[in-house]
Structure 1
Amino acid sequence: MTESTEPREQHASRRALFTAGAAAVLTLAPMSFARAEGGGPVTRTVRGTLPPGAPDFVHLPVEVPRGTRELRVSYAYERPPSPPGVPGNALDIGLFDERGTALGGRGFRGWSGGARSEFFVRGDAATPGYLPGPVRAGVWHVALAPYTVAPQGLSYEVAVTLVPGPAARTPRPVYPPSRAKGRGRAWYRGDCHLHSVHSDGRRTPAEIAALARAAGLDFITTTEHNTPSGHGSWSGLWGDDLLVLTGEEVTTRNGHVLALGTDPGTHTDWRYRARDNRFGRFAREIRRAGGLVVPAHPHATCLGCGWQFGFAEADAVEVWNGPYTPDDEVSLQAWDKTLAAGAGRWTPAMGNSDAHRDPDRVGLPQTVVLADSLSRAAILEGIRAGRSYVAESSGVEVGLTATDARGRGATLGGRLVVAPDSPVVVRLRVSGAASDCTVHLVTDQGTVRSGPAGAPLEWTTTSSYASYIRAELRHPPTVPGLPGPLAAFTNPIFLTS
């Protein structure tokens, strides 16, 4: 039999506000349960209202007694209409166990954002987005994140149910292997920004794997929002033809970043803003876990999506995200403006679909990487080195080379060292493009050559004239006076003296 209590009101007192690590946190009065041994499930319910300007996180402590087998949480909140141009209410949710809520700590047990209204955790299973494991005695925390608060305030209700009983055994997760058969040194196609039911996607991993194969991809990366819960859900879906990398989309209030190709099971914290000066720490943690730091859709216009942490820690940048839009064009042009300093450190570009649900196309776009093998290490090294281009489909192939008078050559991500006035022949070939597409050679001075996509393009230059060369393949313009949407683009070849 389920015991339930009447909801009690929790008011957002500023006296309870403190800073935990980096993010401002409001901690509510604890929710107490009697010993769970014997009897049936017990539910406690609380209500509260958060004012406009509420902190990023609100913690509801839950005192979990010994003998608890399962913890369940459900929540709801009011969504009153807001004036035009004023955001309404949006409340995310997650869970930390008795090990605490410290930034980057071990207590993380799951996050679903606003994707679902209820979840559970127990030893042998958990709702997607959450990590299975024993429900140990101690103070747990339901974490609420008021993403936006309407002028009327955000009224919420949270119900926590504890189910007594012996703990179920936690199975060891089966993670994807780090290598597939592949074709030796070759160009491999991948999509490194994908969401499933483990965050706010609507597709299962099996559906994503099938779509990836249909799109002609060789590798994919699972990147759920703020959780690694999907890392162990790909058993039986990889194969000689498909490498599955693990990662996360770290979704902060000041932009999103892909932790690309991290060790399976790695979780990267997201609870900080640019002003907190914490991002460098977590960028280093991503690299220690074997991954790349890739700011995602840096000029996206959705609230909290635009990248504000700078690019000093970036290993690559996602210039093209999903179907090509004006914010992708802004990202492309902003990235291009950084390449003139490429004699030193530069940031390679990539593109991914960010597919969530139908009709999102997996593999639109895709990053095509020259790698020594179809392995995690080789693919990540190819991306880090910029030996890659981005295409709208597996049917599009692009080749760009630069050759000096002595026959020495370089290709994407490479550097050709020549005398300042020594001639360099640049050759561009494209196949699989639509008949109305055009190709363009771009340098630090802008577009220097254009032509139809069906014919090879050749241009002779010098390192004194062009510090880099890259290529674009574009559809016809859809807005007069603006460039047409991309069908493909390459990373640069640098010319230095």
Structure 2
Amino acid sequence: MRMNDFSRRTLLRAGGIAAAAGMLPGVAFADQPGGTSRTQTVTGTLKPDVPDWYYLPVDVPRGVRQIDVAYSYDKPPVPAGTRGNACDIGMFGPEGHELGNARGFRGWSGGFRDRFSISASEATPGYLAGPIEPGRWHVVLGPYTVAPQGLNYRVDITLAFGPEGAPFVPSPTPETAPARERGRAWYRGDSHLHTVHSDGRRTPEQLVADARAAGLDFIVSTDHNTSSSQLIWGHHATDDLLILNGEEVTTRSGHWPAIGLPAGTWVDWRYRAGDPRDFRRFTDQVHRAGGLVTAAHPFATCFGCTYEFAHELADLVEVWNGPWTQDDEASVVHWDGLLRGGRFVPAIGDSDAHHPDQRVGLPHTVVLADRLRRRELLAGLKAGRSWLAESASVQLDFTVSGGGASAGIGERLAAGTGTPVTVKAVVAGVPGTTVTFLDQLGPERTEPIGDSGAATVTWTTYPRYSRWVRVEVRRPSGGPNTTVPNAMVALSNPIFLGPAH
């Protein structure tokens, strides 16, 4: 079956969700006896002035045991500086495809795969296994960028008929990792990671192995726009690594990982920063579920990656993403500017590792928590009781003291304005670096660290001069993990000085 080019008139006539998206002409399948299968094909062209999402209706009869979808599109040459064709794909079931309809969501693979399958027993990674209920399903196409010539697409939908297989049984991750439990302690974790359930190249088993090798206590799995991996982590869990659930909500206006979600939680992504009520709706969903919202790689240079949403709705800001680059420097400068303006959004650092050649734990966040559990770890992150590290070999203890009291990272020393305050950083595992204390006026004291990589650095200030202090450890030469000089090795969240206002 061949469908004609989609027209703007069709969009306006469709109504409902098509007013904000596009509705393509659909296909309907008749009942089939026995164990046969049938395929129908849809083709068409999307022009450059298209909405973000198109929905292709598929009327599914009774007796279907599996849906298979394959798609392709052309990639014509374009002039330098012009974006070519890129189109994502996913699926919604007969429960509906309205914004936020988690019951209808059946999977997403973005542009990572050209085909997927769904049945009661299993599904392609990124998709949710479950019964193939009769009714109107929708293939969702997301034309990410469209060449001036347009985007010619083809979608093949195959229904296989016959009895369903055994139902899929979820295996969520355990809530504890007893071999790493140390009570109230500093725990190392990487909260932005990908597997084959989105566009990662690691299997869940490989990700666990690499996280353990990196010396981490916990990880957060944040596959793009899908909850599928949340349902299988129990098969790969170990007693020395706590695995938390998440989703990197990947919108056209930037990415925001939702971390610490209950297993099976899906967060919609089909809106832009110009729709602030939608962003608040889904950040509220994450908070009701007990999770946190991270503003990811705010100045990343990839298309659609720059964070354009409101920082005041985020719980964390990812100022360091993977090996140190200039966009990380821009993120730290922006975060420091928020601090100077009186807005504290705790900093976090993650590897965002997708491929085996991208190192898990470079960087990661070290958080003070009452125990190695989801709720306690998230509480420590949200309070800013954390610092960022290049690797597990990097050690940092950062405190302030004065007037008979002391405070640590993310805390406040409630000393009078004229009270002398001693700022102290104890570092190890950082040869060839410098330690710098900063406050709202900028860098205040810098000391080089010798070949031993260990030192205690102190500085005295007063609350009348410093509203807060923080510490950075940098490697002037850049080092093995980056080509950028003065690369970050460790960074702390601030300690606040003086009475709270």
Q: What is the TM-score when the length of structure 1 is the normalising length? A: 0.95
Letter in 1 for 2:498: T
2:404 corresponds to 1:402: no
Tell me the equivalent position of 2:138. Answer: 141
Letter in 2 for 1:392: E
Contact conserved, 1:95 with 1:142, CA < 8 A, in 2? yes
Tell me the equivalent position of 1:488. Answer: 490
Letter in 1 for 2:167: T
Tell me the equivalent position of 1:132. Answer: 129
| Structure 1 segment 16-415 matched on structure 2, within 5 A | 16-17=10-11, 24-38=20-34, 40-105=36-101, 106-181=103-178, 182-277=181-276, 278-342=278-342, 346-406=344-404, 408-415=405-412
2:11 corresponds to 1:9: no
Distance 1:477 1:21, change over 3 A: farther
Q: Report the alpha carbon displacement of residue 93 of structure 1 after superposing the two structures with TM.
A: 0.2
| Structure 1 segment 428-447 matched on structure 2, within 5 A | 428-433=425-430, 435-447=431-443
Q: Report the alpha carbon displacement of residue 22 of structure 1 after superposing the two structures with TM.
A: 9.8
- SS of 1:329 mapped into structure 2: helix
Contact conserved, 2:353 with 2:359, CA < 8 A, in 1? yes
Q: Report the alpha carbon displacement of residue 456 of structure 1 after superposing the two structures with TM.
A: 1.3
Q: Report the alpha carbon displacement of residue 418 of structure 1 after superposing the two structures with TM.
A: 1.1
Deviations 1:160-196 (A, max 9, x none): 0000112223233010122222111111100010110
Q: 1: distance between equivalents of 2:25 and 2:148?
A: 25
Q: Report the alpha carbon displacement of residue 39 of structure 1 after superposing the two structures with TM.
A: 5.3
Q: 2: distance between equivalents of 1:290 and 1:264?
A: 12
Q: 2: distance between equivalents of 1:360 and 1:478?
A: 18
Q: 2: distance between equivalents of 1:461 and 1:23?
A: 59
- SS of 1:362 mapped into structure 2: coil
Distance 1:461 1:23, change over 3 A: farther
Q: 1: distance between equivalents of 2:265 and 2:217?
A: 23
Q: What is the TM-score when the length of structure 2 is the normalising length? A: 0.94
RMSD between superposed Cα atoms in Å: 1.5
Letter in 2 for 1:237: H
Letter in 2 for 1:423: P
Contact conserved, 1:22 with 1:103, CA < 8 A, in 2? no
Q: Report the alpha carbon displacement of residue 236 of structure 1 after superposing the two structures with TM.
A: 4.0
Contact conserved, 1:22 with 1:272, CA < 8 A, in 2? no
Deviations 1:393-451 (A, max 9, x none): 00001111010122x11100001111111111110111101x21111001100000000
Letter in 1 for 2:89: I
Larger mean CA deviation between 263-272 and 16-25 belongs to 16-25
Consecutive aligned runs of 4 or more in structure 1 exceeding 3 Å deviation: 18-23
Q: Report the alpha carbon displacement of residue 125 of structure 1 after superposing the two structures with TM.
A: 0.3
- SS of 1:177 mapped into structure 2: coil
Letter in 2 for 1:75: Y
Contact conserved, 2:11 with 2:18, CA < 8 A, in 1? no
- SS of 2:378 mapped into structure 1: helix
Larger mean CA deviation between 230-239 and 256-265 belongs to 230-239
Q: 2: distance between equivalents of 1:58 and 1:371?
A: 44
Q: 1: distance between equivalents of 2:426 and 2:148?
A: 56
Deviations 1:219-276 (A, max 9, x none): 0011000001011222243233110000100000000001001111000000000112
Letter in 2 for 1:291: G
Q: 1: distance between equivalents of 2:376 and 2:4?
A: 52
Contact conserved, 2:35 with 2:160, CA < 8 A, in 1? no
Contact conserved, 1:20 with 1:103, CA < 8 A, in 2? no
Q: 1: distance between equivalents of 2:407 and 2:19?
A: 46
Q: 2: distance between equivalents of 1:334 and 1:427?
A: 25
Deviations 1:273-310 (A, max 9, x none): 01122100000000111100111101111111111111
Contact conserved, 1:78 with 1:156, CA < 8 A, in 2? yes
Q: 2: distance between equivalents of 1:174 and 1:410?
A: 41
Q: List runs of 5+ in structure 1 lacking aligned partners.
A: 1-6
Contact conserved, 1:128 with 1:198, CA < 8 A, in 2? yes
Letter in 2 for 1:490: S
Tell me the equivalent position of 1:457. Answer: 457
Letter in 1 for 2:9: R
Q: 1: distance between equivalents of 2:69 and 2:236?
A: 31
Q: 1: distance between equivalents of 2:300 and 2:347?
A: 16
Distance 1:167 1:107, change over 3 A: same
Identical amino acids, percent of aligned pairs: 51
Distance 1:243 1:478, change over 3 A: closer
Q: 2: distance between equivalents of 1:360 and 1:268?
A: 26
Q: 1: distance between equivalents of 2:242 and 2:48?
A: 45
Q: 2: distance between equivalents of 1:321 and 1:153?
A: 34
Larger mean CA deviation between 32-41 and 259-268 belongs to 32-41
Contact conserved, 1:23 with 1:273, CA < 8 A, in 2? no
- SS of 1:169 mapped into structure 2: coil
Contact conserved, 2:428 with 2:455, CA < 8 A, in 1? no
